[in-house]
Structure 1
Amino acid sequence: MKRRDASRYARWSALLAFTLAAITGGIYVQRLWVAHREKQNAPAPLPQNEEKQFTTLHFKKVEGDRTIFDLEASKSTDLRGEDISLLEDVKIRVFGKNGDRNDVIHTQSCRYAKTDGSIQCDGQVQFDLESAEDAARTAANAAVKPNIIHIDTTGVTFERATGQAQTVKPVKFSFPSGSGDGVGAVYHSEQGQLRLIRDVHIQLQPAPDTSAKKGTTLSAPVEMSGSSLEIDKVGHTVDLLGPATAVTSGQQVTAGEFTLLMGAEFRAQTLIAAPGSLNQQPQVKNHGAKGDSTLHADKMTAHLSPQGWTSRMIAEGKVQGTSPTGNLQADSGDMEMWPVVNQAKLLTLHGNVHVDGRDAKTGTTRSLASNAVQLTFAGGRAGVANRVTHAETLERGAMEWLDAGGIRSKLAGDKLALDFSAQGKPQLLSATGAVQSQREIPGHPTQTATSATGVAQLSAAGDWSQITLRGNVKLQEAERNAEAQQAVFARAAQTTVLTGQAMVRDAGSETHAPKITFFQATGDIEAEGPVRSTDFASKSTSLQMSPVPANLSADHMRANSKTGRAVYTGHARLWQGASVLESETIELLRPTRILNATGNVRAVFPQAPQPGAAPGSAPVWHISSGLLTYWDAEDRAHLEKNVFVQSADQKMRSPQLELFFTRTGADKQGSGGSSQISRAVGTGGVVVEQGDRRGTAEHGLYTAADEKFVLTGGTPTLFDPVEGTTTGRELTFYRADDTIVVDSGNGLRTLTKHRVQK
């Protein structure tokens, strides 16, 4: 290398070294300046127990690919010598195990324990509970009102491992349809559930009714209280544990627990009251002007309108209701309510239903029983009494009345319908299908009746005033029964009126008539014609002119079941075997077996046959008079007023006549056979005719056994066209051989024997 080149390289090397040294010095000076500036701008020195300070803290809990919750603090400060960090502006966003939550817990300061992951927040803490669906809807449309449950409390502890937040401090909360408070709370982030520990109060606010007219009274809020509360935002439920109480204007509900089913906007839609773990049966109490009414059941469900009133109420299990005017019970009940006013509109009861009422003034009670009953109410207006307008059974039912006198009445049918007056008083009860009625009067046999339909008119006191049965009516009272197409029972008059092919029957008789009336108080029975009766043969209670039933007919009949007396008037007629009796009036006295006939009496009686006579050869007597009395027990009849008796060839007239009967085929006691005339005794001026013969006397006796007439008294006289006129103290003539025996007082003589007709 040349010397000149070496010098040049040396100069270049020195220049490069100087340049590098200058650059290195400049960098060092710059760093010193930056360090100085940072020291000036740095915060105050850390306290002795603090180690580090971070600008943010962020951690999350993840299971699989799903984030359960996410915690973020804008500032985190570690404490020297402790596993604790101070967090500021803490926000915990909870998504839940299913990712359906968007809950946010927010506070200003907390203490974070690194050992167990718990976070203690002593200051104010806010919870905003919202579903992911609601959050997405709000984010997409700013006009949508957020559906958030907001909670304010203090002293909250959040456990990182479980995602659970809790406090023992007072809690206040609000949601779109209400607000409340309690003491202590536990929040489960995985399920999105909140529990208030004790002393819970809730106020449900009705939604504004945009359709309501101006000046309409707004629905009052519902005040609720309980021992604890569970809110499930995902499941849209709120459980209020008891003793739980809900109070509205004029109504109070208590139960072992309440469950509120919330709508999409977390407004209460359904309230379920149940006994819960306390086994406290739900009860609804209504305050009315006439007193409180209560309703009990094993479970009650109230469906609430958005405006806050109850639209429907369902009661299940051992339903019992009480009110100042009555009680009810059923296995279940379903009540539809009038809007706004919280008044019943339609109540349907199912299973062993009993609805009882009582009139305080009269003491009369009434009871409606069925397996299903429906009641309709006239309410719907605030401040106006909500009265029942209609009640009906959906299955077979019975209405029963019991008055202060102990008289029990009952009307049953496949369906009952009860209409009420404008004042809410029962007015008309209709029964259809296999109708049955029953009446029990102390000291009297039970009265029963059946028909196709029935209608009961009711008094203001609620008891029946008149019951009308129609269609194939059948009645029964002890041994007496009756049939008709219609029966009308009048309470005040104590009468039963049968019309339309009416028939009444007892052990001794049967009567048919278009109309038959029973008088309960007196025992009278009245039949309006044409009347036809049959008096059955009986040794103790009926006439026995023949061993066959006695038949009677008339325009009218009046009888008495207590005395056994029966009077037939207007074309009265009796026939029994061969005996026939007609008159204007026929009176039967059953206990004494006496018959009285008055007014234009006409009768036909058979005469006792002579010994050895052929059967059916005995003559028949036709009798007329103004009055006839027959004593069946004595086999005797008495006739008065223009008595006239006629057989085939004999006639007898007298003012009075006694007929004596014998019974053919009678038993040893002389009863059971047919009554036949054996003797006739006329008094008061007797006229006897036999063929051309004519006899007169004060007294006349006819005996059927020997077919003879005996005339006595006065001047007995016998006129014969052949023998002329014969007189004597006693005249006897025989029909069989025309023999006339004259007793002149000086002995007997026979005037004619074997009379020969010319």
Structure 2
Amino acid sequence: MRRSRAARYARWSALAVFLLAATVVGVYGYRAWRAAEQRRQVPPAPPPTVRQQAAEFSFSRLEGGRKLFTVRASRTTEFARDSLNRLEDVRITLYGRRGDRFDRIHTRQCDYDSAAGRILCGGAVQLALAAAPAGSAPADDWTEIVPTPSTVLIETAQVTFDSATGVVRTDQPVEFTFPGGTGRAVGISYDSRAGVARLHREVSLRVWPAVPASTAPVELSGTSLEFRRDAHTLRLAGPVRARQAARSFTADAVLFELDSSFRIRRARARGQPQLVVRAPTGWHLLRAEQFSVELRATGGVERFVADGRVELRSEGAPGRDELAAEQLVAEFVAQDALPREMRFVGRVRGRSHREGQALELTASELRARLAQVSRGSVELRDAEATAAALAWQSADGEHLQLSGNRLQAQFARSNRLHELSGDGDIVLRRAVTGSPEQLSRSRTFSLRFSPAGGWSELEQSGDVRYREGELTARAERAQFVHAENTLQLRGGVILREGAVRTAAESVVVWPQRGELVAAGAVRTSFLEGSAGPEFAPAPAHVAAERLHLHRALGRAVFSGSVRLWQGTVAIEAAQMEFDRTAGRLLAETAVRAAVVEAAATPPRLWRVAAGWLEYRNGEGTLRLQREVQAESADVRLRAPQLELDTAVEAGTRRILRAVASGGVVVEQGRRRATAELAEYFASEEKFVLRGGAPVLHDGLGNSVSGAELTFYRAGDTILVKSEEGSRTLTRYRVER
């Protein structure tokens, strides 16, 4: 029993010892677990290279009491060695010197060198350039970077921020967006205090025009770009290249001026900028020393200016055009961004070659207005040039030159020239193969073109002066008709060719045929040296209703109540022709002539009527035919033909001898004589009748006949010559 109690006691003792041991182990285990838990909750000890770590970090820099920037980080690590601080979730706000900026930089991690004052951000970096909200001071609160209509967003990497200078810099690729476009480049530096950003190289931009929305974007590229925030400018260095649909552009540099929302409002290109527009039917090229484009606030081009040696070229199916000037100014229609007016200024020179025709223009200024014919398409409506000269050459070799103080052009569809007009000292030159050059001057002119091409009609007005070889003319109006190759002059027309002068109400000239027709109160004067009629040493004058002048033949035909007078000689007829080459005058139908008789005192005038008259210079003989009647004082003569032999005495052409033939009747008072032929000698005042049994009647029933009868105007003596001989009778007295 005692042994069983001992065994039981031993078992309880062992159990007690086990429980005690387990309790001690449990207590110590629990304490070890608590110590481990506490050790886990205690931050790890910084590495030997780290001096200090903090959960929040920020610092700012002020200048003159104004905050320049603020740097924030959600966590910072200060290293024991050097002066570097590791910043995480970094946000930098730049306020600018005037506090008018709200530029922001955001990245995940940066190293801050406190000694050098530089922040180096090795990963992806976002940069937002924006103006401070109007009327508010710079805020310390961070605003997340999101696109806005007035913000420039930049994405890049490995950025350095110098807190001493406020310059942000990287050499890595850059992508950015701005109001109305996007871009790429390699490397950027941004001076936050001066507000200047520079893209270092390989710059490319894509800009979307504000209107119309369907317009293709403009693709731009350059070697570098500089953005000046305060000046609101972008400068793209070249060579600059741009493309928009069928348009391409090159220049050495382009300067963009921005509005308050940083949208482009003006662009200036320098260094031989060039614009090329290609179309299915050809191409257009524009180059100058400088381009300037002004944009509307609502979008679209408002004004375009090209300065310095402007050159415009077009080539295509219709032909080839060239235009040069010192300046080009183009005004655009707002809704469609199409030019409505173009003005070329300073030494304007133009050339056009179309369908075998050539056109050249020089002017001090050229203004062209355009009209929209369809969406995105315009055509010329009219144009005006000052101090201008125009030269046109047709396919068949015709040359036309025009100059004046002002020239105006009207255009039909497809830019076809419809009418050209002008005023102020107009000068026109025209040359046609096979005819002399034509020169005309006037105050105004109008030149119309046919739909088939070439000019159809030219009109000049206001003191028109015309010259063609030796022919000159003056009139109030002139009209050239191309199809008929005629010149029509109207209103107080005065023609001169050599020493021949003609005045008329209207004149039609055929230059190639060498003919002209004058009508209405025609007055022609043959002055000294004109090779005109030679009745007296004085100008010969002709009045008629119409003149047809064959200039090449030297023949002038007057018609309609024609009257010629020279000295004391006067001739009238229904038609009169003078051949200057032969020196021959021919008058027909209702001819009337008046010639002074020689040796008569006082001068006695013979008046002659006939159906035909001829006179040749140098011969001095007037030949008349067809029912000739001549009358002088008391003598009347009728005959089919009459010749008046004349000579110039004391400056006056006088009749020396008259010969009538073909059945002559001579009447003096009651005396009446008939014969086949009658001669009158002015120096002796005697008539000699012969042929056809001459008979002289005294009116009292008495007559005398013979082979030849001679009687005197002032005497009663009659000489009779017959086969029996001659005899003298004095029984027939002359009644005076």
- Contact preservation (8 Å) 1:400, 1:411: yes
Which of residues 367, 370, 375 is equivalent to 1:382? 375
Tell me how far 1:171 sits from its aligned partner. 0.6
Say if 1:161 and 1:462 are closer, same or farther in 2 by CA, change over 3 A.
farther
- How many angstroms does 1:254 deviate by? 1.9
- Pick the aligned partner of 1:290 from 275, 281, 286: 281
SS in 1 for 2:231: coil
Q: Deviations over 1:228-261 (max 9, x none)?
A: 1112233222211111122223322221111222
Letter in 2 for 1:373: L
Tell whether 2:162 aligns with 1:177: no
Within 1, Cα distance between the matches of 2:179 and 2:43? Answer: 46
1:527 lines up with 2:506 in the alignment:
no
Work out whether residues 557 and 576 of structure 2, in 8 Å CA contact, stay in contact via their aligned partners in 1: yes
Q: Deviations for 1:339-360, whole angstroms, at most 9, x for unmatched residues?
A: 454422222222233444332x
Which structure 2 residues correspond to residues 212-227 of structure 1 after superposition, within 5 A?
218-227=214-223
Distance in structure 1 (CA, Å) of the matches to 2:178 and 2:484: 67
The residue type equivalent to 1:67 in the other structure is: K
Work out whether 1:95 is the aligned partner of 2:95. Answer: yes
Give distance in 1, aligned partners of 2:149 and 2:442.
Answer: 66
Preserved contact between residue 716 and residue 731 of structure 2 (Cα < 8 Å): yes
Compared with structure 1, are the counterparts of its residues 734 and 567 closer, same or farther at alpha carbon in structure 2 (3 Å cutoff)? same
CA contact (8 A) 2:698 2:732 kept: no
| 8 Å contact kept, 2:435–2:511 | no
**Partner SS state of residue 96, structure 1:** coil
Give 1:744 deviation, angstroms.
2.7
Distance in 2, Cα, partners of 1:650 & 1:747:
28
CA gap 1:445/1:543 in 2 versus in 1, 3 angstroms:
same
Change over 3 Å in CA distance of 1:647–1:609 after alignment to 2: same
CA distance in 2: counterparts of 1:184 and 1:599, whole angstroms = 105
Q: Which amino acid aligns with 1:259?
A: L
Identify the residue that residue 243 of structure 2 maps to in structure 1. Answer: 247
Q: Is the 8 A contact 1:366 1:462 kept in 2?
A: no
Q: Percent identity?
A: 35
The amino acid that maps onto 2:456 is: S
Q: Report what 1:607 is aligned to.
A: 597
Structure 1 residues 704-719: aligned runs within 5 Å:
704-719=682-697
> Would you say the 8 A contact 2:675–2:694 is kept in 1?
yes
1:188 aligns with 2:194: no
Corresponding residue of 1:549 = 539
- Flag structure 1 segments of 5+ consecutive residues without an equivalent: 1-34, 210-216, 276-280, 666-672
Query: Is the alpha carbon distance of 1:135 and 1:150 closer, same or farther for their aligned partners in structure 2, counting shifts above 3 Å?
Result: farther
**Aligned with 1:560 (options 538, 550, 567):** 550
The Cα offsets for residues 144-192 of structure 1, whole Å up to 9 and x where unpaired, read as 9452111111122223332222222111001121111011111112212
Aligned partners of 1:195 and 1:231 also within 8 Å? yes
2:266 corresponds to: 270
Bigger mean CA offset, 488-497 vs 331-340? 331-340
Cα distance in structure 2, aligned partners of 1:37 and 1:167: 47
- Measure, in 2, the Cα distance between the counterparts of 1:294 and 1:715: 100
Q: Which has the higher strand share?
A: 2
Contact 2:435 2:512 in 1 (8 A): no
The code of the aligned residue for 1:718 comes to L
Determine if contact 1:537/1:544 at 8 Å carries over to the other structure.
no
Q: Deviations along 1:447-485, whole A, 9 cap, x unmatched?
A: 333444322211236532111223343333344332333
Give yes or no for contact 1:366–1:463 (8 Å, CA) kept in 2: no
Displacement, 1:123?
Answer: 1.1
Partner of 1:625 in structure 2?
610
CA contact (8 A) 2:99 2:138 kept: no
Work out the CA distance in 2 between the residues paired with 1:681 and 1:136: 126
* 1:358 pairs with 2:353: yes
Q: Is the 8 A contact 1:489 1:497 kept in 2?
A: yes
| Residue in 2 that maps onto 1:47 | 47
Q: CA deviation at 1:283?
A: 1.6
Could you report, residue by residue, the CA deviation over 1:503-524 in whole angstroms, capped at 9, with x for unpaired residues? 3233222222222111122121
Quote the offset at 1:271 in angstroms: 2.1
Distance 2:256 2:618 in 1: 87
The match for 1:198 among 197, 201, 223 is 201
Moved more, 714-723 or 729-738: 714-723
Q: Map 1:221-620 onto structure 2 (within 5 A).
A: 221-275=217-271, 281-305=272-296, 308-324=299-315, 325-339=320-334, 341-359=336-354, 361=355, 363-379=356-372, 381-382=374-375, 385-393=377-385, 395-441=386-432, 444-460=435-451, 463-538=454-529, 540-609=530-599, 617-620=602-605
Indicate the SS of the match to 2:415.
coil
Amino acid paired to 1:390? D
1:744 counterpart = 2:736: no
1:678 aligns with 2:653: no
Q: Normalized against structure 2, the TM-score is what?
A: 0.87
- In the other structure, the counterpart of 2:6 is none
Residue 72 of structure 2 corresponds to residue 72 of structure 1: yes
Q: Distance in 2 between matches of 1:558 and 1:130?
A: 88
1:688 equivalent in alignment to 2:688: no
Given the alignment of the two structures, is residue 638 of structure 1 paired with residue 634 of structure 2, yes or no? no
Is the Cα–Cα contact under 8 Å of residues 138 and 146 in structure 1 kept in the other structure?
no
Q: Is the 8 A contact 2:94 2:101 kept in 1?
A: yes
- Comparing 414-423 with 193-202, which one deviates more in the overlay? 414-423
- Aligned twin of 1:22: none
| Cα deviation, residue 596, structure 1 | 0.5
User: Distance in 1 between the 2:252 and 2:453 partners?
Assistant: 38
Aligned to 1:726: 704
Do the aligned partners of 2:52 and 2:79 also contact (CA within 8 Å) in 1? Answer: yes
1:245 maps to a residue whose letter is R
Contact 2:195 2:229 survives alignment (8 Å) = yes
Structure 2 CA distance for aligned equivalents of residues 45 and 750 of structure 1? 182
Alpha-carbon offset, residue 549 of structure 1: 2.1
Does the CA contact (< 8 Å) of 1:401 and 1:463 recur in 2? Answer: no
What is the distance in 2 between the residues matched to 1:42 and 1:548? 142
Alpha-carbon distance in 1 for matches of 2:373, 2:729: 111
Offset at residue 502 of structure 1 (A): 2.6
Deviation at 1:701, TM superposition (A): 2.0
Kindly provide the amino acid, as one letter, of the partner of residue 127 in structure 1: L
User: Residues 49 and 461 from structure 1, CA distance in 2 versus in 1: closer, same or farther, beyond 3 angstroms?
Assistant: farther
Q: How far 1:196 moved relative to its partner?
A: 0.9
SS in 2 for 1:132: coil
Distance 1:352 1:365 in 2: 20
Counterparts of 2:136 and 2:512, CA distance in 1: 84
Q: Assess if the C-alpha contact under 8 Å between 1:495 and 1:518 holds in 2.
A: yes
How many residue pairs get aligned? The number is 696
Partner secondary structure for residue 327 of structure 1: strand
Which secondary structure state, in structure 2, belongs to the residue aligned with residue 378 of structure 1? strand
**Partners in 2 of 1:489 and 1:696 — Cα distance?**
59
Q: Give the direction of change, closer, same or farther, for the CA distance of 1:38–1:354 in structure 2 (3 Å limit).
A: farther
Taking the aligned partners of 1:161 and 1:569, their CA distance within structure 2 comes to 107
Amino acid at match of 2:197: L
- 8 Å CA contact 2:211, 2:335 repeated in 1: no
Question: Is the 2:686–2:710 Cα contact (8 Å) retained in structure 1?
Answer: yes
Segment of structure 1 superposing worse, 119-128 or 71-80: 71-80
Contact 2:715–2:734 under 8 Å retained in 1: no
1:368–1:757 distance in 2 versus 1, CA, 3 Å: closer
Q: Distance in 2 between matches of 1:137 and 1:443?
A: 88
RMSD value, Cα? 3.2
Counterpart residue type for residue 500 of structure 1: G
Quote the offset at 1:292 in angstroms: 0.7
1:311 deviation in Å?
3.0
Which amino acid counterpart does residue 366 of structure 2 have in structure 1?
Answer: V
